[in-house]
């Protein structure tokens, strides 16, 4: 089963769900890690563009990658939408100071996660930051998700030169029974490691 299975069919319900919770409510523990100055951002699995819109409103230039076009809501200056997906990201080029993968990584199997981490590490600028949120809990019917952990993801990142700088857990923002999240931040050390954090 493909990682996007079930999302196109449930787009209307998912849009309402995604839009009911704000960026700061979901990512409060990560806010201190975000660059203060405007940077190039790559959002993987952008969904409705809720997070992209929040980042663009603060001056960041966001490339929002989402394979399910039916989910797209936010169209505004500062956001460039791309139809693509992990692990290949064939339509994405350049370097980004911030890459986010919110509720995405669990859709990849272990081999896909290795290929995706290699690809994402190559897109991170020196001093760039990769932020991931990892879902745990019951898999909704018709969806494809794989077990994943922050510990495993951090080790995988280390293989490709990324260093863990933050790990935390949070409850589900939608109050779903049995669902909780791990948040992980990985840094690419480099000479330009002053993103205003």
Q: Are 163 and 96 in contact (CB under 8 A)?
A: no
Distance CA 40, CA 63 (A): 8
Q: Tell me the domains of the chain and their CATH numbers.
A: 11-18+36-187 (3.40.50.150)
Residue written as tokens 């787009």? 11
Measured CA to CA, the distance from residue 54 to residue 73 in angstroms comes to: 13
The first and second tokens of residue 13, run together, are 């319900």
The per-residue pLDDT for 142 is 76
What pLDDT is recorded for position 160? Answer: 97
pLDDT (tens, 9 = 90+) of the chain, 197 residues, equals 466 666 777 777 877 877 788 888 888 889 999 999 999 999 999 999 999 999 999 999 999 999 988 899 999 999 999 999 999 999 999 999 999 999 999 999 999 999 999 999 999 999 999 999 999 988 877 778 899 999 999 999 999 999 999 999 988 887 788 899 999 999 999 855 444 44
Query: Which residues, in sequence order, are CB contacts of 15 under 8 Å at separation 6+?
Result: 48, 71, 73
What span, in angstroms and rounded, lies between the C-alpha atoms of 66 and 47?
6
Q: In this structure, how many other beta carbons lie within 10 angstroms of the beta carbon of residue 88?
A: 12
DSSP string, 3-36: TTTTTTTTHHHHHHHHHTS-HHHHHGGGGGGS-S
């Amino acid at each position: 089963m493909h990682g996007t299975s079930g999302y196109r069919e449930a787009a209307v319900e998912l849009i309402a769900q995604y839009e009911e919770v704000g960026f700061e409510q979901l990512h409060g523990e990560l806010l201190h890690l975000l660059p203060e100055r405007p940077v190039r951002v790559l959002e993987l699995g952008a969904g409705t563009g809720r997070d992209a819109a929040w980042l663009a409103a603060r001056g960041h230039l966001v490339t929002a990658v989402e394979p399910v076009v039916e989910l797209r809501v936010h169209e505004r200056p500062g956001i460039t939408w791309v139809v693509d997906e992990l692990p290949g990201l064939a339509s994405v080029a350049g370097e980004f100071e911030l890459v986010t993968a919110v509720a995405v990584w669990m859709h990849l199997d272990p081999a896909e996660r290795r290929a995706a981490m290699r690809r994402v590490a190559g897109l991170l600028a020196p001093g760039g930051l990769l932020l991931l949120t990892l879902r745990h809990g019951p898999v909704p019917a018709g969806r494809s998700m794989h077990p994943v952990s922050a510990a495993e993801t951090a080790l995988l990142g280390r293989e490709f030169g990324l260093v863990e700088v933050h790990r935390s857990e949070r409850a589900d923002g939608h109050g779903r029974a049995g669902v909780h999240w791990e948040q992980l931040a990985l840094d690419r050390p480099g000479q330009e490691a002053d993103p205003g954090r």
